Amino acid sequence: MATVVFYEKPGCANNTRQKVMLASAGHTVLARSLLTEKWEAPRLRTFFGALPVVEWFNPSAPRITSGEVRPGALDESAALALMLADPLLIRRPLMEVDGLRRVGFDQEAVHRWIGLASKMPHENLEACSKGHDARPCPVVAA
């Protein structure tokens, strides 16, 4: 099984469920705070691969739901600069296994990549379970 470096927002219920799914499949999860990690643009960029810029963003981030940040209007360098200044904008989780990096937790894609337990329920583990009208989750110190 794989060792997964898992960058999360500490306290996020979906990130907790994602880590449980990975551990249930036999993977070792090394959780790190997405918010306190010392990111640099070139390294952060490697997690996004060929995805369009709009898919790099956490659609539940307060600055996105308020309309202040419009991911579809940004180029790569502007997107990375915003994310470095405000890591809550980064789509979660960021994961690394054996030097390969990915963003997000599409269960089918993660299963094809490193494997997940076959009896796990398929659900959207990326959308904020609190909904867009809820107050943002508190940031838990790492």
8: left (phi over 0), alpha (psi -120 to 50) or beta: beta
Output the CA angle 80-33-54, nearest 5 degrees. 30
Q: What is the CA radius of gyration of the chain?
A: 15
Residue 131 per-residue DSSP state: -
Q: In this structure, are residues 113 and 97 in contact, taking their beta carbons and an 8 Å threshold?
A: yes
The reply to whether 128 belongs to the active site is: no
CA distance 17 to 123: 11
User: What residue has token string 């838990």?
Assistant: 140
Token reading at 13: 């219920």
Helix or strand or coil: residue 76? helix
Q: Among the options 2, 7, 8, 12, which is catalytic?
A: 12
* Catalytic positions, written as ranges: 12
